[in-house]
């Protein structure tokens, strides 16, 4: 039987890993955008950048919600909120 604590810790860990992957994708995407000379490809890359930004904001909202929950160990939620609040680098 999964407890609420285990579920929230799993959620926090998953969202932290997703934020790390999102930051990695963002860095790769920025490199591709700066080197891109094709207008159609540039448009698709900009759309992907917007999608990544929206997902970061979604995770930030989720992190705020999780941080307000009565968790046994709120440190993970605080860490997630900190990581999700960081803007994606330019």
Task: Judge whether 90 lies within some domain.
Answer: no
Task: Judge whether 3 lies within some domain.
Answer: no
pLDDT per residue as tens digits for the range 16-70: 999 999 999 999 999 999 999 999 999 999 999 999 999 999 999 998 998 888 8
Question: pTM of the predicted model, to two decimals?
Answer: 0.79
As a residue count, the chain comes to 90
Name the DSSP class of 74. T
Quote the distance between the C-alpha of residue 15 and its chain's center: 7
| Total number of domains constituting the chain | 1
Summary count for the chain: helices (H), strands (E) = 3, 0
Task: Judge whether 56 lies within some domain.
Answer: yes
**Residue 22 is part of which domain span?**
10-85
Task: Judge whether 5 lies within some domain.
Answer: no
Task: Judge whether 1 lies within some domain.
Answer: no
| Of 90 and 15, more confident | 15
């Amino acid at each position: 039987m999964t407890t609420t604590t285990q579920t929230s810790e799993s959620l926090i860990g998953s969202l932290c890993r997703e934020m790390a992957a999102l930051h990695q994708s963002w860095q790769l995407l920025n490199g591709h955008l700066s080197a891109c000379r094709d207008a159609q490809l540039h448009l698709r890359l900009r759309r992907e950048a917007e999608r990544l930004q929206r997902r970061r904001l979604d995770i930030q909202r989720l992190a705020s919600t999780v941080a307000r929950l009565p968790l046994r160990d709120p440190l993970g939620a605080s860490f997630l909120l900190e990581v999700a609040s960081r803007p994606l680098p330019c």
